[in-house]
Structure 1
Amino acid sequence: MVDNGSSHGGQAAVDRLAEQFPNAIMVHTPVHASWLNQIETFFSVVQRKVVTSNNFTDTDEVADRLSAFETHYNQAAQPSKWKFTTTDLSDVLTRLDDHKPAHPTQAFSVASFREMTVIHAG
């Protein structure tokens, strides 16, 4: 599973992966995958706070430092308060409905997406 970064976007990346690992299927996450952003944020913190000095004598030392950080992070972490509501989503979808695509092939049925969202959201 990959995001939509340029290093693994498009058919060339899919072909490279299939050549290296024939049983693997590349799946791109949605462009606005907030959960992926959270993962990227966590690894950014790890990179800046834990491994930046890069002065380890062996991999066991790296593992120990990462483990200590994980323990600290899990004790200090607080849940985020999600503020994007179903009303916000409805407003965004309404604005998209009002948008006229520049080319007929760009047409997207926001109404059908809204129906799917309501069905899945319960």
Structure 2
Amino acid sequence: MPIVLNASERHRLKKMAYGHKTLHQARQRATVVLLAARGRANARIATEVPVHVDTVRTWRGRFAAGELPALADRKRSGRPARFTSVQVAEAKAPTCQLPAGTGTPLSRRPCPELADELTARGITGTVSASTVRRRLHQDTLKPWRHRSWIFIRDPDFRAKAQQVLDLYTRTFEGILLGPDEYVISRDEKTSVQARCRCHPTLAPGQARGDARQS
């Protein structure tokens, strides 16, 4: 079918076909219509673009029927949403609570545990950890990075922790430490413990010795 363009359509199609920021698919469609307006056959247009001849026939026919708006992608229905907005909100709510508040013996809320909890509580059906992570990403929620107290099971936890917490405030057995008394933690960080040297100390090189003397 012949394609006839007016000045405005030709100008807009050229901007689409030669614009640096135009998407590749839009550039191809505009080029197909411009070549068709010059009287080129579908087979020749398919060779020059290059695309399949059926693609040329499709966009040529759509432009003839609907002009420029017909070159845009049609709306697609897609797969229907699996979870309602209420289910999504209920799925995000546990991530804003500490694990101990829900009786979960965890210090963090990883996505696999959240997915199992949603299914166990009947909020959703079977849901994968990746789906939970994608939903949380919409609101920039990252509960697996939140540090919280581990659920306490030891009945003597308060008495054991009190000794350590008192030392943080420089107190021992209810008495404040003096200015000449210190608290040293030997296992606060990995590989910072006091250890014997594995290798003997070596004398500095000639260049280092000269640098210190200068």
Fold-level match, TM-score > 0.5?
no
Q: Which bracket does the TM-score occupy, shorter chain normalised?
A: under 0.3
Taking CA–CA contacts closer than 8 Å with sequence separation of 6 or more, which of the two structures ends up with the larger relative contact order? 1
Structure with greater Cα Rg: 2
Q: TM-score, normalised by structure 1?
A: 0.23
Structure (1 or 2) with the greater helix fraction: 1
Q: TM-score, normalised by structure 2?
A: 0.15
